[in-house]
Structure 1
Amino acid sequence: MVEWDIRKLQVLRALRERGTVTAAAEALHMTPSAVSQQLANLARQLGVPLLEARGRRVRLTDGARLVLAQTEPVFEQLERAEAALAAYAEGEAGEVRVGAFATSVPALVVPAVRALRDAHPGVSVRVREAEAAEAYELLTAGDVDLALSLAAEAPSAADPRLTQVPLLADPLDVALPPDHPLAQAPALTLTDLSSEPWIFGGSGPWSDITRRACEAAGFSPYQGHSASGWTAILAMVEAGMGVALVPRMAAGRRDGVVLRDLGPDGPVRHVTAAVRRGGESGRAVCRVLEALRDAAAAGL
């Protein structure tokens, strides 16, 4: 019977997540040679090759992927055990590391932290701002305990590593200069703006969200200018250089810009929270999730 070694399996899992021996070693605070030695020992224990060379890199064999697929429930149960132990030892106390995309920090994370200070002062939150897709990468790598991100950037819902919790459908408003002919139109749709120059990032989630919303309305947006920060985007809108979609959660009041609601059929972006499978049973994580749900409900 095979003698399973959790530490060696964690090393193999880190290699799958990080892609290279060097990156896995950095994540595990080990040397690359120690990682290679652990994997070689694991291969001998299991009696199957786990790595194959591809140029200067290595990739996991089908046998290695089979091992990880079959042992994933073990990691889930270990997460549950760790969460249960923390709840027993610390009660209501504990630190939760949150990776969150930029606009969610002031709109959701900060209100949640304020509420936790009053209701559960022993639960602390350490925030790490990250791009939407990066938040999930930080979660699966173990660098944060909870990821606040966009559903469009999430791994497959069938991913066995994560539990995803829908939080908010954030409407997208259109930003127009005040003197735009449609700024005060009684009803406004994206199709009405199909010939306008649009302002959005050259790549990344916001570019994808803008393009998908316009294409769903029947046109491909002409990108007049490229910008990723809301300050720059709204400044260009104010100057009459184009129009832009702006998530309501990110929009602040700005003189010189008119924000128009596109109605109940207008586009939205879906904000989700995610934890590693099993981690949702941790009491401190549950408290943070509850506070985020309350902040999302208050912002609707």
Structure 2
Amino acid sequence: MVDARRLLLLTAIAEHGSLTAAAETLGMTASAASQQMTRLEQEVGQPLLHRLPRGVRPTAAGTALAERGRTIRRELRAARADLDSFARLERGTLRLGSFPTASASLLPLALTRFARKHPGTRTGVYSALLAELIDSLHTGETELAMLWDYEWNRITDPALRLTRLLDDPSMLVLPADSELLERRLRLADLAGQQWIIRADNHPVAEVLRRSCRLAGFEPEISYESHDYQEAQAMVAAGLGIAIAPRLALANRRSDVRLTGFPAGVPAPTRRILLAHMDNRAPTPAALAMTEILISVAAKFAGPAPRRGSLGAVTRERGR
């Protein structure tokens, strides 16, 4: 097999007509260049250069190989240009995993900023459940993925590198005219209330049941919703009250009110995380998106709201 580096040396010699000049161009000594050419001739089994009193001239075989070397050199330069364009984010694709709450809050602003700064890089978003997002990282379907966990279901996959974006506390969702808004609540005070939960064993339903059991009662369920907008609509209609992560309530209806989680049990708070595979170096596009997501998350982060306090969530820079 022909050594590509020696082939490129032969091409330079053919172009310069001098072994010494070619060596200087490639940052080699003349002696080293001569040794490499000798080895190349041994590899191909025939002479490639005519040694003349002043300079060298390629043989017919040397001329043919030098032309092949020009093609290889062009392709290598093109490959370097490709890599440089990816490094400058002038082209390429970033595959990003997300879940509905993040896609409806953090992600639009992050995607807009990324597209504005790096218009040559296309972003593909894969929205899925938690287990599917983790699988997509392992299979390479996504390079980055936004994940979440609670204290009782921490993500412990050793293959993942996790970046904590923000903490997302649970909120109580009440009708705008609820008399409960006038009280400083403990969770036990809500034992007689009807509750609206997420259907299909959604994690927020587990959050409610865990919290109520800690407060000493089982929640009475009046409605199972399939998304947070539907849950808000049912709260507004008077079918019951609900809890939801604060991030899920970024688009709050005008006929519901949010309060901090009632006192009496620890306020359930989930972590919003950004993950990538620990054994794969992130691409320049992934590094740029990570920086943007951290910045955007800071706009949504803030201290946990005062328990039972009424009003919109205060925004401030996160940790």
Normalising TM by the smaller chain, what interval?
Answer: 0.5 to 0.7
Gap change, CA 1:258 and 1:267, over 3 Å in 2: same
Match of 1:231 among 229, 232, 239: 229
Which position in structure 2 is the counterpart of 1:82? none
1:123-134 correspondence to structure 2 within 5 Å:
123-134=121-132
Q: Distance in 1 between matches of 2:296 and 2:205?
A: 26
1:247 is the counterpart of 2:245: yes
1:201 is the counterpart of 2:198: yes
Contact 1:280/1:286, CA 8 A, preserved across alignment: no
TM-score using structure 1 length = 0.63
Q: Secondary structure at the match of 2:188?
A: helix
Q: How many residues align?
A: 214
1:291 is the counterpart of 2:292: yes
Which position in structure 2 is the counterpart of 1:182? 180
Unmatched runs of 5 consecutive residues or more in structure 2:
1-81, 302-319
Q: Distance in 2 between matches of 1:263 and 1:243?
A: 13
Unmatched runs of 5 consecutive residues or more in structure 1:
1-85
Q: Distance in 2 between matches of 1:155 and 1:213?
A: 17
TM-score using structure 2 length = 0.60
Q: Give the drift of 1:156.
A: 4.2
Percent identity over the alignment? 31
Which position in structure 1 is the counterpart of 2:212? 214
1:61-76 correspondence to structure 2 within 5 Å:
none
For residues 106-134 of structure 1, what are the alpha-carbon distances to aligned partners after superposition, in whole Å with 9 as ceiling and x for unaligned? Answer: 31111111122233334432112212332
Moved more, 206-215 or 246-255: 206-215
1:37-186 correspondence to structure 2 within 5 Å:
90-93=86-89, 94-152=92-150, 156-157=155-156, 159-185=157-183
Q: Give the drift of 1:250.
A: 1.7
Contact 2:113/2:292, CA 8 A, preserved across alignment: yes
Q: Distance in 2 between matches of 1:92 and 1:263?
A: 49
Q: Secondary structure at the match of 1:232?
A: helix
Which position in structure 2 is the counterpart of 1:54? none
For residues 81-104 of structure 1, what are the alpha-carbon distances to aligned partners after superposition, in whole Å with 9 as ceiling and x for unaligned? Answer: xxxxx9666213232111111010
Gap change, CA 1:198 and 1:160, over 3 Å in 2: same
Greater RCO, 1 or 2 (C-alpha within 8 Å, sep 6+): 1
Q: Letter of the aligned partner of 2:88 in structure 1?
A: E
For residues 247-267 of structure 1, what are the alpha-carbon distances to aligned partners after superposition, in whole Å with 9 as ceiling and x for unaligned? Answer: 221212313212112379633
Q: Give the drift of 1:174.
A: 0.7
Contact 1:172/1:267, CA 8 A, preserved across alignment: yes
RMSD of equivalent CA atoms? 2.7
